[in-house]
Structure 1
Amino acid sequence: MFYRPEDGHGLPHNPFNAIVTPRPIGWIATRGADGADNLAPYSFFNAVAYVPPQVMFASTSAKPDREGTKDSVANIRETGVFCVNIVPFALKDAMNATSGAFPREVDEFARAGLEKAPCRTIDCPRVAAAPANLECRLTQIVRLSGDANFAVFGEVTGIHLRDDCLAGGRFDVTLYQPLARLGYRDYAVVREVFELKRPGE
């Protein structure tokens, strides 16, 4: 099968959503200028640089009360900060509970029954139970082609690691089993890890 995206695929569901997988999930916490907290998952997310450490996520839809974007991007525009919370398998239901297009005044932390913890380098809450949290300062928001498509880049200014996720001097993903996004309504969990040496190592 071959198709051009502008012509359509003719399938019941968009296959593009299932091709680039698995994708890590950035559970983005923000606080608006009015003090209202927000938490939402984004699967267009990744780390993009080591020194200084930087991450990005993309928002690809809009809400009527946010002028062409979603709460996360709107809050980051106002405050210049956000926190990425890593999603473990144990919090899959809480993550899903925060994924709706709720009114801007809804606190998704409370809706999902999640405890907040303060960040140290930015004025923003974080998910206390997450295995890791990345405190970020906005570096740029890039408008992408298409309606409501924005890529948000941030520099990591503080990192929280749960002590029970450290083993042998490493942050061990098998101890918390990160959740990943597949296509459609499908997700995956990392339970098996193996090493490969690069040529010359």
Structure 2
Amino acid sequence: MFYEPRHGHGLPHDPFKAIVAPRPIGWISTRRKDGAFNLAPYSFFNAISSRPPLVWFSSDGVKDSAVIARETGEFTVNLVSRRLAEKMLETSIDAPPGTSEFELAGLTPAPCNLVACPRVAEAPAALECRVTEVLEPRDLNGDPVDATVVIGEVVGVHIDEAMLKEGLFDVATAQNLSRLGYMDYAAPGEIFSMRRPRWQDR
């Protein structure tokens, strides 16, 4: 089949995110100016440079992580392992303002070395980042789309030493989680489904 996105796909669900997969999950932690912590997962996330190390995350719509990162100039990326999948999913809930996703998911905020926002202590690795650019993407007509792209330079790296094998970061041990299409996720050797929780169902 062939389709033009502007005319629709005619399928039960949009296949775009299933085609552009697997995608690493950026579990983004930030700290508001009033000191409150925020934690949310983004499957529109990746590295874009190694010298210097740059990463980016984006979401459909205006989300807290992008707003806070823009205001404070920093964020932390936490690596999601298979064993943290369910806790990561809990932090994706549409919680009311003021809710601590760390507390909601039973996670431990740990201090970072070079940025004020916390990292997830249970994560096998974390990247401390300072914002270099915030982009407002546009479509072919030059009109702004409902997305914000935050780019940051990695200024500090935390690694759980249990993840190091002969000096290499071992993905098989870390069990890096990635997002597939629809409700599907993948870890090395496993594909499974999880449905995003809704606050009203609690």
| TM-score, shorter chain, exceeding 0.5 | yes
8 Å Cα contact 2:25-2:45 kept in structure 1: yes
Amino acid in structure 2 at the alignment position of 1:15: P
- Structure 2 SS opposite 1:139: strand
Amino acid in structure 2 at the alignment position of 1:4: E
* Offset, 1:97: 0.3
- Structure 2 SS opposite 1:78: helix
Match of 1:93 in 2: 86
8 Å Cα contact 2:54-2:152 kept in structure 1: yes
* Offset, 1:11: 1.0
8 Å Cα contact 1:71-1:104 kept in structure 2: no
Q: How many residues align?
A: 185
Q: 2:172 matched to 1:179?
A: no
Match of 1:117 in 2: 110
* Offset, 1:142: 0.4
8 Å Cα contact 1:174-1:191 kept in structure 2: no
Partner Cα distance (2:126, 2:30) in 1: 13
8 Å Cα contact 2:25-2:43 kept in structure 1: yes
Match of 2:199 in 1: none
Partner Cα distance (1:190, 1:27) in 2: 18
Match of 1:144 in 2: 137
Q: CA offsets per residue over residues 37-85 of structure 1, 9 Å max, x none?
A: 1100001111111111110111212xxxxxxx11101111110000000
Partner Cα distance (2:34, 2:137) in 1: 27
- Structure 2 SS opposite 1:30: strand
Any stretches of 5+ residues in structure 1 without a counterpart?
62-68, 193-201
Amino acid in structure 2 at the alignment position of 1:88: S
Match of 2:26 in 1: 26
Amino acid in structure 2 at the alignment position of 1:10: G
Partner Cα distance (1:167, 1:188) in 2: 22
Amino acid in structure 1 at the alignment position of 2:179: R
Match of 2:100 in 1: 107
Amino acid in structure 2 at the alignment position of 1:183: G
C-alpha RMSD of the superposition: 1.2
Q: Which of 119, 122, 131 lines up with 1:126 in the alignment?
A: 119
8 Å Cα contact 2:56-2:152 kept in structure 1: yes
8 Å Cα contact 2:74-2:130 kept in structure 1: yes
* Offset, 1:161: 0.2
Q: CA offsets per residue over residues 99-134 of structure 1, 9 Å max, x none?
A: 122223111011000011000000001100101000
Partner Cα distance (1:133, 1:191) in 2: 23
**Consecutive aligned runs of 4 or more in structure 1 exceeding 4 Å deviation:** none
8 Å Cα contact 2:136-2:145 kept in structure 1: no
* Offset, 1:191: 4.0
TM normalised by structure 2 equals 0.89
8 Å Cα contact 1:177-1:191 kept in structure 2: no
TM normalised by structure 1 equals 0.89
